[in-house]
Amino acid sequence: MTKEATVPDDATGLHADAATLRADCARCFALCCVAPAFCASADFAVDKPAGRPCPNLAADFRCSVHNRLRGHGFAGCAVYDCFGAGQQVAQVTFDGRNWREDPSLAEPMFAVFAIMRQLHELLWHLAEAWTLPAAEPLRARLRAVYDETRRLTHGQPQALLAVDVDTLHRRVNALLVQVSGRARAGVRRRADRRGADLIGADLRGADLSGANLRGAYLIGADLTGADLRLADVTGADLRAAKLGGADLRGALFVTQAQLDAAVGDAGTRLPSGRTRPAHWSRSGQPPRSGDRRDPDGRKSVA
């Protein structure tokens, strides 16, 4: 399943090709199955060091258990999203050459993928921010940073490895915080739970409308029936969070991966442009949670 940001297609928009911000595994060389390290846990059945192919990876760069990932103990793979970085590295940066045919490409390709994924995630958030009416006064700045970041993604391998991602991350994050503040300004009570440890918290029916939940740890939290309208969930960890009957309409910066990692039901109201995950069962039992490290070891934008 692919994931994408809602990118406006008009004369004043960011002119982004939405396809570049969603994963196209058929045009990648299974970079996410090789480059990252992951630890045996509830989400990953085995230990795998960085740079070593997953044991489920076939010779044609396809996953041999793709349709049965959760049942085989690889739920973490089912929710991973490279935001289109994989095909950008494979088809643009390295011009269709792959690490199996030319093993000398493996190390630089994997290193570039770690950088590219961060850049594409930033692009996704900038594009998402652009769609918000509250972003109108900030759109010139959003566009400038977006265009700058987009140019970086077309650089040569050595140029990409030299990108100061941390500085760019801080600049983008500052803009997103401003957009978020403007979007939530009309909410009377706005709880500030940024980075809060809410693991396993009982938040059933909680009024979290307009709340700042950026980077919050909501692993296994019970958000059944909670009001999350206009809540900012940038980088929030929603693994195994119970979203049955929760209202996420208008929630800010909700990625498809966050929803895929959580568990909801037919009554969960989703933000525009998001898809109800196929694995959400009527039983209300959450998927198993675990720990995955991105190739670069960074957390999501927050």
Per-residue pLDDT, 43: 84
pTM: 0.87
Per-residue pLDDT, 65: 87
At 124, give phi and psi (nearest 5°).
-60, -45
> Coil, strand or helix: which one is 195?
coil
Q: What is the mean pLDDT of each run of 10 residues along the chain (302 residues)?
A: 38 57 93 92 89 92 88 87 96 96 96 97 95 95 95 97 97 97 91 96 97 97 98 97 97 96 95 91 48 40 60
Per-residue pLDDT, 237: 97
Q: In the chain, what is the straight-line distance between the N-terminal and C-terminal CA atoms, in Å?
A: 24
Neighbours of 279 (CB within 10 A): 13
Q: Residue 217's beta-bridge partner residues?
A: 197, 237
Q: What span, in angstroms and rounded, lies between the C-alpha atoms of 57 and 299?
A: 25
> Any alpha helices (H) in the chain, and if so which ranges?
75-79, 85-87, 106-130, 139-152, 157-161, 165-183, 256-261
Is residue 6 a contact partner of residue 15, using CB atoms and an 8 Å limit?
Answer: no
